Structure 1
């Protein structure tokens, strides 16, 4: 039986996730287990899986990692704590306090292995100064709804925290530290992954205020006080970071390359685009629609199908009261723009299995998407206006639901372009 375009796209996404699975990739980056005391810490949606991979290589270890609810893994020594994401909660705050206590008193002969992946910004929660957890929750919700790029969001998070911006690393000083990172940020900047808890930071509280003001986010007096003055993130050249090594061992580019290899084996002309795309999901969709239609217009009957791959992290400015996320909103906006154009099939998913406000990875669209919606009396334009893409794709049966993937290398987009019927090149 011939594989459908939708089935192929789903297989490519599954391959991209598989390559980034810590159980498949982390062991090769581990050194031999050091002599003496070894402490494993970490945070992020992949951190429990990373700890599981570490213990598979090193045996039971002392330590603590914080992961998202539903993302826990069985570990023999490392304690796994589950907390809320993308908005922090009291469980994350208590676990962060426990983690900092675990690092107190370590000496030069001790070794800390830090496991950091996307999601650590919310899961590591230690509000600065007089800032309360409720205030941190409110500013996180406002940032998520604002459409601010992840880099600017993380600058704000760093300067409202006692653990981000290199301060987790200095809490372990003078112990040696190796931080293994899974990148979920455009550009793979280690200082932005999880808001850089083990990486020196050159930003200032003034930078954080610029972001808050630019996106119209009002903050309480406690936050304004915390953002006054020179700040206390750890400078990149701080001597306390001299024995800290940060290694990105999994990144979006590797997953896109694996998907491209699989697509070529299936007979497609796979082309890898940018792995660091940012921007409003619906605006990027409009640009991609123009590009895709231009590519298809140059194809002749019998030409090899073309696959366009890209990654990065798109954003959504929340305008309505629906349930959505950047990948689903991109897919919905793209379906509207393509308006049933034949021969074009698309998957847009978050590799962590969670797209925005729902435990849904994303969606698949094709020439039939709008026709199915019309038959079911589901209005795509209204759904987009309400930021209700997840509901739309649920109603037409086009969601991609994976459950916890236990990794996170950000957005995955694949657009398969087949010659249009009657194309003459």
Structure 2
């Protein structure tokens, strides 16, 4: 085990998270895109949603100063903290829960109380989709939970998953704009989506929908999953049209303030002495394919000098087993089991910039040439654990979990492959 390389990889991962600091990103955005002035007798209505919501709200409240403002923050439990001047609520992630449903109702009530003289400020970050379950029509929270679990387990990428979620929610796909009308909305968005499609981030609460009800149904049917949906969900999607909005949407201005690419560039800047190269800023698709790509990159790298190969994206796992883990842990395990002898030290880290990988305490994994042996020494079969989607157990046995706690931000995943000379 190369202790020095492992320590360097973790330092670079922290640099990636620091580059996605939500408060810093928001302050920079406000210099280019200041909040609109209030109307006569108006107030600011601030709604912050997602894993970076608390930090973004704190920075915005500081920027607004002593003006009339009512603020509501909805975030995951790991990132919750009290914030003077704001009501802070928690919500489940990655699966919706009752706390999230209560938070969604609070958001709807606050936006519904706005008037033309008010200005709505929305602060949106990754994770917000699961945190605001507001079922349409006759759907229930249980229906949203069932669909959410299905999307997670069957390997839907974030665009497809959020297109489907938008058809089932009153707040997604521009839903916030309908409740805010007639108050104009200004949104500042920290992207966890590769390509930075703002309609996909947190299911686009201030942006037009990604697609239609018909497209959502087609995506599900194409995977043979239609009959696994709750009956009411099938009935809703089968009607072929979304529920009619309660009001015309409010005017909206959406501003991107941060992204995965900026974090990859921060890794490269911090690893100057390691000959850094950003090999891919769109590492998506099945995790097995991503692992093969990373192993191939390690084999192709020049052997006469150290190297830092950088990737960013968001892969998917098609869950067929009963184990525990997440896409980053499974990617790290696959690389550890597939990497041939390179004749040089190497370390591979895959981590979620939010500090959370799947329903586990880990952000991802950090592996090296000794990982497979350490798994065996612990009495475990790495290949069998992988086949059962139990990457968490395998990496825990090796002492190779990457555990950071909540980072307060979210710009998807980063992968760092360090190669010794």
Alignment TM class, shorter chain as reference: over 0.9
1:290 and 1:202, CA in 2 relative to 1: closer, same or farther beyond 3 A? closer
Q: Which TM-score applies when normalising by structure 1?
A: 0.91
Matched, 1:270 2:276: yes
Runs of 4+ with >4 A deviation? none
Which deviations, in whole Å up to 9, do the C-alpha atoms of 1:257-291 show, x marking residues without a partner? 11110000xx1111113322211112210122122
Q: Distance in 2 between matches of 1:340 and 1:400?
A: 23
Matched, 1:336 2:344: no
The alpha-carbon deviation at position 232 of structure 1 amounts to 4.5
The alpha-carbon deviation at position 340 of structure 1 amounts to 4.8
Q: State how 1:128-167 maps to structure 2 within 5 Å.
A: 128-167=136-175
What do you get for the CA RMSD once the two structures are aligned? Answer: 1.9
Which deviations, in whole Å up to 9, do the C-alpha atoms of 1:289-348 show, x marking residues without a partner? 1222122xx433xx2x12111111111111111111000100000111104533221110
Matched, 1:203 2:211: yes
Q: State how 1:297-376 maps to structure 2 within 5 Å.
A: 298-300=302-304, 303=305, 305-341=306-342, 342-376=344-378
Which deviations, in whole Å up to 9, do the C-alpha atoms of 1:142-178 show, x marking residues without a partner? 1100011111011110001111000112211221211
Report which stretch shifted further, 309-318 or 267-276.
Answer: 267-276
Q: Which residue of 1 aligns with 2:240?
A: 229
Report which stretch shifted further, 369-378 or 388-397.
Answer: 369-378
Does the 8 Å CA contact 1:52/1:73 hold for their aligned counterparts? no
How many equivalent pairs are there?
407
Does the 8 Å CA contact 2:123/2:189 hold for their aligned counterparts? yes
Where structure 1 has 5 or more consecutive residues not aligned to the other structure, the ranges are 420-425
The alpha-carbon deviation at position 23 of structure 1 amounts to 2.7
Matched, 1:219 2:229: yes
Q: Distance in 2 between matches of 1:251 and 1:367?
A: 31
Where structure 2 has 5 or more consecutive residues not aligned to the other structure, the ranges are none
1:274 and 1:225, CA in 2 relative to 1: closer, same or farther beyond 3 A? same
Q: State how 1:8-407 maps to structure 2 within 5 Å.
A: 8-30=8-30, 31=34, 34-35=37-38, 36-59=42-65, 61-217=69-225, 218-227=228-237, 228-232=239-243, 240-241=249-250, 243-264=251-272, 267-295=273-301, 298-300=302-304, 303=305, 305-341=306-342, 342-407=344-409
Q: Which TM-score applies when normalising by structure 2?
A: 0.92
Q: Distance in 2 between matches of 1:220 and 1:328?
A: 30
Which deviations, in whole Å up to 9, do the C-alpha atoms of 1:179-202 show, x marking residues without a partner? 111111121100000010100125
Q: Distance in 1 between matches of 2:360 and 2:321?
A: 15
The alpha-carbon deviation at position 22 of structure 1 amounts to 1.6
The alpha-carbon deviation at position 395 of structure 1 amounts to 1.6
Q: Distance in 1 between matches of 2:296 and 2:391?
A: 21
Q: Which residue of 2 aligns with 1:422?
A: none
Q: Distance in 2 between matches of 1:387 and 1:3?
A: 28
Q: Distance in 2 between matches of 1:74 and 1:273?
A: 40
Q: Distance in 2 between matches of 1:136 and 1:325?
A: 21
Does the 8 Å CA contact 1:45/1:352 hold for their aligned counterparts? yes
Does the 8 Å CA contact 1:201/1:233 hold for their aligned counterparts? no
Does the 8 Å CA contact 1:64/1:78 hold for their aligned counterparts? yes
Which deviations, in whole Å up to 9, do the C-alpha atoms of 1:52-89 show, x marking residues without a partner? 22223334741212111221132112211001111111
Does the 8 Å CA contact 1:116/1:194 hold for their aligned counterparts? yes
Does the 8 Å CA contact 2:133/2:169 hold for their aligned counterparts? yes
Q: Distance in 1 between matches of 2:78 and 2:418?
A: 33
Q: Distance in 2 between matches of 1:45 and 1:158?
A: 19
Q: Distance in 2 between matches of 1:372 and 1:294?
A: 26
Q: Which residue of 2 aligns with 1:414?
A: 416
Does the 8 Å CA contact 2:166/2:172 hold for their aligned counterparts? yes
Q: Distance in 1 between matches of 2:359 and 2:72?
A: 27
